[in-house]
Amino acid sequence: MQTADLAWKFLEDSDPVASAAQVDAALGALAEQITQRFTGAFPLVLALMQGALVFAGRLLPRLRFPLEVDYLHVTRYGAQTQGGDLRWRVAPSAAVKGRAVLALDDILDGGHTLCAVRDRVLELGATSFHCAVLVEKRLARVKPIAADFVGLQVPDRFVFGCGMDARGLWRNLPEIRAMRES
């Protein structure tokens, strides 16, 4: 069972990766890039829950073009720190058919979740698929998908904050932190 004392201890045992100011600057740069790409378009923006909740909430008001917003909920982590099997809680709807889709996710880690989202959206008839992530983890291995828009690069550590959680904790941090190696 989580307690406030355990949550504070967990935070104390982490290291800063990106400050709130760095996150804000990355959001501004992402908004400019995405606006340049989608000006003149009318995309359907899909926020991947729960991680993209904070990212989408901070990014969407900065986008200067008409869009529609929906969400889907797919997870590989749950309360764990390592990915498992993909589970759809809310799958993409038929609303993607004939639309340019922009998926928003908190992190591009191994790429399996975003790859599955892309495949499902295209199977449902989307005309194109693009994805924006707040952070991309630098990994030595090749990923099955590349993000079209990346806010920040982070080391190959378990990171949290800005919508990303660690064992269900600290999605609400304005900065990004990493668990210490044990």
- Tens place of pLDDT per residue across the chain (182 aa): 678 998 998 899 999 999 999 999 999 999 999 999 999 999 999 999 989 999 999 999 999 999 999 999 987 655 545 556 788 888 888 899 999 999 999 999 999 999 999 999 999 999 999 999 999 999 989 999 999 999 999 999 999 999 999 888 999 999 999 999 76
**Angle between the 20-38 and 52-59 helix axes, to the nearest 10 degrees?**
70
- What pLDDT is attached to residue 100? 97
Decide which of 3.20.20.70, 3.40.30.10, 3.30.420.280, 3.40.50.2020 is the CATH code for 20-157. 3.40.50.2020
CA distance 179 to 160: 8
- Give domain limits for the chain: 20-157
Q: Can you give the length of the chain in residues?
A: 182
- What pLDDT is attached to residue 142? 92
Longest Cα–Cα distance in the chain = 50
CA distance 153 to 66: 28
Q: Do 153 and 96 touch, CB atoms closer than 8 A?
A: no
CA distance 55 to 62: 11
Tokens representing residue 136 in the block: 């991309």
Q: Burial, 169: exposed, middle or buried (Cβ in 10 Å; 0-12, 13-18, 19+)?
A: middle
Distances, alpha carbon 95 to alpha carbons 62, 85, 90, in Å: 24, 26, 13
